[in-house]
Structure 1
Amino acid sequence: MRARESFCNAKSRREGGEGGDRRRDEGEQESAGYKEPLLNFITAHSTNISPTAAGNLEHKGRRMRNSLLRMLGTMMCVLAACADIAPVKDFNLEKMAGKWYIVGFATNAQWFVNHKAGMKVGTAIFAPTNEGDLDLSYANLNADGSCWRMTHLAHKTDTPGRFTFHSQVWNNDNDMRIVEVQYDDYAVIHTIKTKNGVSEVLNKLYSRTQVANANLQERFSKFSEQTGILSDNIVILPENAECPAV
């Protein structure tokens, strides 16, 4: 993958953690900044609470501190991803045309965390327009036999391989970049999704077939980690039947 070194990757190496892993961002100096006010509070009210209650309160404070640090790490990673991930050079819009299978999915978004276990391969049809935009049509066959469908018109930008669109379904703004592609084989698409001022990264692995080889899966996983995605949220999707054409 062609991603530059992100804040998450460089920072985690300095601290001995994996690239993009927010769970290791718990330095002692930062911990002290959160812990001291909590201990002062416990001391001031020690006559009113039991030692057990005080210990529980301090434990909850530590959990809150760690959650805040992870959120900060995520925001920094997203900002780094926005700045550093460039589209593939010599992008050819016409060669992107046709049917693709979405075989890999990676994001820390809560909806994905809640539903990833039941997700399977879906299809995407890319149709270039005369204006240089990209019509996107997605379909996924549900377990009950129904089909979930969604369409977008991705507008070209001044940078070839980079498109933007607003999702009516999710009510968010999308900055989409084709970061690596072999037009007859696979593509990696990196998208920054922003809603109410909050941004999240979504990486997708597209293939012309329903199965991507092991080497490509590994490269996709490493790229996603470099852009701040937790390893548990990088999923290679199982095969699935297709929705009927419309």
Structure 2
Amino acid sequence: MAGVWRCTLMVLALMCVYLCGSSEAVGGAKSRPRPQRRPRKKPKVEPIDVTPPAQNINMQQMGGTWFLLNSASKCSYLMKHGTKVEPTVISLTPPSGPVQTVAISTKTRINHQCWEIQQVYHQTATPGRLTLKGPRPELNTEIVIGETDYTSYAVLYYQKMGKMTMKLYGRSVDNLSEPVLAKFETLAEKQGLGLAFLFPFPTYSHCGTVDQDHVLNCVPTC
């Protein structure tokens, strides 16, 4: 009789093990979720990329002398020394022949002496868009001629390492109208450069002839 009970208990134990194992296999098993692909990051759009150049820009008409009248920037140098900026004038030499570069000569005072900064802007496939090449591609300065009538004013955008600077140039220091100044302020505001980031430049005592010892081939900070 004891043997019968022992066999009965063993059968019940096996049935319990089977039933428990079956319930875990069916009800307890969890399917692994399929790995989800991470959404692709949207390409970063720089302000300069959405700043169209003036229509049908003519670099030949841009040639000549331009006086820097106003600048809009968060450049650290201007933020610290914006009230001490020096009169600045540039000479733009448009491309000639097969050479598709624009020569820029900037004259200003550094430590109370007149200096000339010589640069070369490279034209791109888009008229009115230029590149000032740095030591490495990530240090390039992208330039857009945003507004100009060739004879009185020009608004240029400069972007380097994601930071934007805008400059207002005039053919003369005397005949710039209030509407043009207001337009520049409005364009600067659209780039997040309000009145606190505007730095007017002096309209007198510009540098003339510069000694060869005071000629630089470099990229200004702002």
TM-score by length of 2: 0.67
What CA deviation, in whole Å up to 9, does each residue of 1:48-85 have, x standing for no partner? xxxxxxxxxxxxxxxxxxxxxxxxxxxxxx94522310
Distance 1:220 1:120 in 2: 20
Q: Structure 1 stretches of 5 or more lacking a match?
A: 1-77
Which of 112, 125, 137 is the matching residue for 2:78? Answer: 112
Distance 1:155 1:231 in 2: 31
Residue 204 (structure 2) pairs with residue 240 (structure 1): yes
Match of 1:188 in 2: 155
Matched residue of 1:220: which SS? helix
Residue 143 (structure 2) pairs with residue 179 (structure 1): no
- Contact kept, 8 Å, 1:91 with 1:160, in 2: the verdict is yes
Which of 135, 138, 142 is the matching residue for 2:106? Answer: 138
Distance 2:194 2:76 in 1: 12
Greater shift in the superposed pair: 199-208 or 225-234: 225-234
Residue 168 (structure 2) pairs with residue 205 (structure 1): yes
How far off is 1:133 after superposition?
1.7
- Contact kept, 8 Å, 2:48 with 2:157, in 1: the verdict is no
Matched residue of 1:101: which SS? strand
Match of 1:58 in 2: none
How far off is 1:142 after superposition?
5.0
- Contact kept, 8 Å, 1:121 with 1:210, in 2: the verdict is no
- Give the length in aligned residue pairs: 162
Q: Which amino acid aligns with 2:84?
A: G
Match of 1:38 in 2: none
Mapping for residues 153-172 of structure 1, pairs under 5 Å = 153-167=120-134, 172=139
Q: CA RMSD of the aligned region, Å?
A: 2.0
Mapping for residues 32-51 of structure 1, pairs under 5 Å = none
- Contact kept, 8 Å, 1:152 with 1:167, in 2: the verdict is no
How far off is 1:210 after superposition?
1.5
Structure 1 residues 116 and 240, CA gap change in structure 2 (3 angstroms): same
What CA deviation, in whole Å up to 9, does each residue of 1:152-193 have, x standing for no partner? 10000000010001256xx93110010111111110001111
Task: Give the number of the structure whose residues are more often helix, by fraction.
Answer: 1
TM-score by length of 1: 0.61
Distance 1:91 1:191 in 2: 17
How far off is 1:148 after superposition?
3.0
Match of 1:222 in 2: 186
Distance 1:173 1:80 in 2: 14
Q: Which amino acid aligns with 1:230?
A: G
